[in-house]
Structure 1
Amino acid sequence: MKILVLLKQVPDSDEVKLNPETGTMIREGVGTVINPLDLHALETALRIKETGDHSVTVVSMGPPAAEEAVREAIAMGADRAVLLTDRKFAGADTWATSMALARFAEKEGPFDLILAGEKATDGETGQVGPETGAMLGIPVATYVSRIVELDESGITIEREVEEGKEIWKLPLPSLVSVTKDVNEPRLPTLNGKKLARNASVERIGNDFLELDPSEIGLKGSPTRVVRIGTPKLSRKVEMYEGSSIRDGIDEIKKRLAPYLEVNHE
């Protein structure tokens, strides 16, 4: 079975800044890590790999520096790491990103199972996984918290919904996006890190994908950021400066009284 895992490199910082002109994230000078929720997708793939003759490919789209993310995936146990990197991909929104990932899956597949994290911590949209599956024309299951069964006939999953949980069975190939409840990701071993250090990370650009320039990068992104603003928190604060705690408590009770009145009629 051929398994593909979609990974994203995200900023390892709360100090995320946006370019006010393009509305895209400024990534220079910010430490990066594998998107934490994607690690659960990778762990799912690795556990499947351990059950039989299966291979795991990880793919990410980003600048050359994102190679470190896919290299870490090799340290954890992935067989192949691919980075889609090209200046033409710059500024891509979820649609253009999914377009590139789907084209890669078409050209390098067919893959029996595609796994993704629920969402990325920098965008919080949860769109790339489902969009990629839709563009490939394969079944998609989101918010998956457990893999119940997987065999040649299909994959049975448990997914979280507002009312509780649902059990679905999908034919293969399918795309599944998992939540953090599906497993606990492993840490790379020392041998894995040694292997990853010398492993080959394939870099692929649009010359290989052969997508129309109007479908990729900023040009291929229908999402437009109209305005960027920083929320301002303002609170009216009154300081009690009396010397008696009892008088201070009485003053608070007086201020809260209008909000605590109960109509007993």
Structure 2
Amino acid sequence: MTFGERLKELRVKKGWTQEQLGEKIGVQKAAINKYEKGLIKNPKDKTINKLAKLFNVSPSYIRGYEDEKLNVGYLYFDILLKKYSENTQEGKALRYFNKDQREKMLISQIDNILKSQHIQKEYQDLKSMADKLELAEMVNDYFSDIYMNEVKTNNNLTDLVLSELYGIEELANNYNIYKTKRNFENNDLDIIGSVKEIELGIDSSLQEKILLLTSQIISEIEKLKKDLADNPSRKGLSIVIKDKYYQTINYKIINEIKTDEEINMEIEDMINTIKNKGD
């Protein structure tokens, strides 16, 4: 959506004429008309900021940039949905949020990607980003991080702990163990005495011990994750199934031919089936 189309959409929603909108931001009706027809494609930042404040939206939304970001975000999102099934932690994270939450998150993460220095060097604009599908995993990581922190489950707790441990393991593994020497200038000699250089570095055995300990902890946490995996409660399953049940297209028709008691019995049967499979 262009700036002109977005402006017209917002104005019409408010029920304002072009003249009324012009009065509110201090411009003539003719200027509003030119904006909406696309005759002025790049209005001044001052005008954009006035409009954003007036309509209570972001400047990038007024300009139509957020639509472009959302298009790229959904391109990545659709790829991720095909890659991760709903039974995986990644798949659960991608499918957990509603449409409004999802779109805000997609726009936010595309913003974050654009701000990254190494991304800025490689990709000049959103169009060039759309062709680089490896960036989709950055969206996946963003959804997973929010999901694990917001949704309190056994699996999410163990995944959060494991992600921190993997980071520690990587840090220890990549830490520079090679010895280096530091030479001191003459004006440092008062502090260190007659020593003109010292050896810097770490003992490789220390690195090995840290890696061993980390590996052992990771192994124990992974066992806990398996032994204490999420086992949805009957109440939790009931809420989820009812929500899905009521969202079905045929629910209105079903409700006309079945009593609430019959519907609840069917839901209970579904819960028992799921629980039995889990056992």
Length-normalised TM-score, structure 2: 0.20
Larger % of helix: which?
Answer: 2
Larger % of strand: which?
Answer: 1
User: Which one has a bigger Cα radius of gyration?
Assistant: 2
Length-normalised TM-score, structure 1: 0.20
Q: Which one scores higher on RCO, CA 8 angstroms, separation ≥ 6?
A: 1
